Each structure stands twice: as C-alpha cells, then as structure tokens.
Amino acid sequence: MQSQPLINIRPRISVNGENRADLAAQLNSLTIQLPWHGCASAELSVTNWGLADSTPYPSWLFNHISMGDQVHIAHDTPSITLFEGEVTGIEEQYGASAPVLTLLLQDRLHLLGRLRQSRCHEDQTPDQLLQTLASDAGLEADTRVSDVAADWHQLNESALAFALRICRRFDVGLRLDRGALRAMPENPDPEPVVLGPGNGALNIRILADLNHQYQHSKVTGYNPTTGEPVEATADQPRQSAPGKTAGDTLADLGWESSDTLPHPMARSHSEAEAYASAGFHRQARKFLHGELICMGEPNLKPGKEIELEGVSPRLAGIWQVGLCRHTFDSRNGFRSHAKIHRAQWNPEP
C-alpha cells in the first residue's frame, strides 16, 4: 500500500538568491501583510541560537543578515511566491527564551516612500504620472488608471503617498505585483479559489450593510479654462454581476439616498465622470463585506476572487479579496486571512 506524501507547510525562504533551509527550520512565526492599496510587508521571527554546520558549539546563527538584503518567501506545494522584499528593520529579543531575531521586511514599493519633494506634473494622465514616479525609483510600472490629462501637484509628500492619493481618486489599487508597480482596475478571475465551511474555511463572517450606500453619486466642479461648471453622476458598479445591488435594495425599501463628493474638485467633465464613477464604485463594492480565515491558501492575494460554497444562497458565489494576510507559527501552522467584499447579493423573495 502506497502512503500519501507529507506536505511541508513551512515556507521556503531565500536570502539574496540563496535558499536558507536553516531560516525555515528555526522559524518561530511569520506574518505577511498584502494590502489592496499600498506597500506589502512581512515580519519573520527566528530563534537566533544553535549549532552552525561548521562549529562544535552553539552560537549566533543569523548575525550576517543585514539591512537591504533581498528576502524571498515561497510555498513549495506547488511553488508559489508569498512575498518578496527587502530587510528594512531588525529586532533582537533576550530574556524570556533563547535569543530571537525578527526581520522586518517591505516590498520594493517602499523605495517610492523615500522620494519626498514638491513639483507639478503638467498636462499628464495618471498613467504617465505613475510611470514617471516608478522610473524615478528604478521600478517598472503596469498602469491603466485613467486617460484624463490634467496638472497634478505633489506638495511636500513622498512619491508613494502622492501615487496612493492619485490612485484613490479613481478607486484603483496600487501595489507591487511580480516586481512591477501595478495600478489598474481589478479583472474577473478565471480561476477563483473555492472555499467554504466544509472546504478549508475555518471561520467566515459577512455583513450586508446599507449604511454609507447610495443610489447614485454626484460630483460637481469648475473648469478654470472655460469658466463653466462641470457635473457628473454615477449609479452603477463597474462590473455587473447577478443579484441585487445596494441601490436596488434601497429602491425596494423606498429609502432615497444620494452622495455628493466635494473632494477632489473636478476640473473638466471627463474628470467629473471619472470621480463620480470611482466614488460610487468605492462604496458599492463594500455593500457586502466580511472576513474569513482558512487553512493556508498561498494563492490568496489582493484582487484574487473566492467562490464561497456551503453558505446561504444569498451569500454564495464570487467574492473579491481586499486585504490578505498569511501567517505561520508552530501552534496553528499555515493560515490565511482575507477581507472580502462584493456589490451584489441574492436575497430570498
């Protein structure tokens, strides 16, 4: 009788391109934080005392790891990258147990956070602007934010804060993906991860909330070139899906609700349309929101979709991942935590 192979849930860790099985073996805990919008980070804690290969006596094991070292963390079954970044902080602890070394890591988007300045980017689209900011930090960029051309003012803020602020106007998540700065609307996922109470999910909590939901959003502004006011409204999420939206539910209840977005002020009709659409979608996609904890699922990341099964019909179906967090420790093993959201539900008649 052939036995089933054992799966090693410990992550594979490489430093500066060299596989470090000793780091994985001494690992106490690992937390990887993957935001939908912003810089990803990780915290890796190891026991920093033991026998090295070439010494007969125990000693410090990882004193050679330095600031700026490249760290790659992967799951081996199959090989999937969980995190890739650089050491930006080192912490050591003594007294309660054997010496503990904690590495604080950030992905290379942190380089944008180190470029602080004031300047005006004249007559550029957000895509051109992001390409410039990424190039200044030595990063590649894959962007599809908007084709609205305008003047964008960076006022004594880091390039990262500036880029996050501009992308937030269009409700587009900015993050590092496969080594490149990514800023574009989320696409439908051809291979969603199937999860449910009887299929890997350990805990699921979901809330349908009509607070801060609207039937339409409105943006007003002023065109300084022509001297004319501008105005636009939006009443649909960007991607249609089966089910009722918050706007549909509000209409059924007879609860009139609208939202006027005062900031940022639109300077053209195309800007007003883009801000109204983004503002409505930003709220609508969070009509249903919640979080889940599951057995370690290395495929989960921001923008990934989950197909929930084994829940009520009004909640079953496709959900999108926002914030994602992967954790490992000796007590719970490999776990994945995800905040999920969607704009539609299927209430019973």
pTM of the model: 0.93
Instruction: Please tell me what DSSP assigns to residue 108.
Output: G
Q: Span 71-88, mean pLDDT? A: 92
Q: Span 93-121, mean pLDDT? A: 94
Sheet containing 174-177, strands listed edge to edge, beginning at the edge strand earlier in sequence: 141-143, 180-183, 174-177
For residue 69, which amino acid is it? D
The reported pLDDT for the residue numbered 167 is 97
The answer on pLDDT for 6 being more than 70 is no
pLDDT band at 97 (very low <50, low <70, confident <90, very high): confident
pLDDT band at 138 (very low <50, low <70, confident <90, very high): very high
Q: Span 289-294, mean pLDDT? A: 97
The answer on pLDDT for 3 being more than 70 is no
The reported pLDDT for the residue numbered 255 is 94
pLDDT band at 1 (very low <50, low <70, confident <90, very high): very low
Tokens 């960007």: give the residue. Answer: 238
The reported pLDDT for the residue numbered 262 is 87
Instruction: Please tell me what DSSP assigns to residue 131.
Output: H
pLDDT band at 240 (very low <50, low <70, confident <90, very high): confident
| The pair of three-digit structure tokens given for residue 4, joined into one six-digit string | 């089933």
Q: Is 225 exposed, middle or buried (0-12, 13-18, 19+ CB in 10 A)?
A: exposed
pLDDT band at 349 (very low <50, low <70, confident <90, very high): low
Please name the residues in contact with 181: beta carbons below 8 A apart, sequence gap of 6 or more: 109, 112, 130, 134, 139, 140, 141, 142, 143, 163, 174, 175
| The pair of three-digit structure tokens given for residue 104, joined into one six-digit string | 């604080």
Which residues are bridge partners to 223 per DSSP?
228
Q: Which of 179, 124, 174 lies closest to 147 in space, CA to CA?
A: 124
The CA distance from 268 to 118, in Å, is: 24
pLDDT tens digits for range 322-342: 999 999 998 899 999 999 999
The CA distance from 319 to 346, in Å, is: 13
Pairing mode, strands 41-47 and 333-342: unpaired
pLDDT band at 46 (very low <50, low <70, confident <90, very high): very high
Q: Which of 188, 172, 198 lies closest to 36 in space, CA to CA?
A: 172
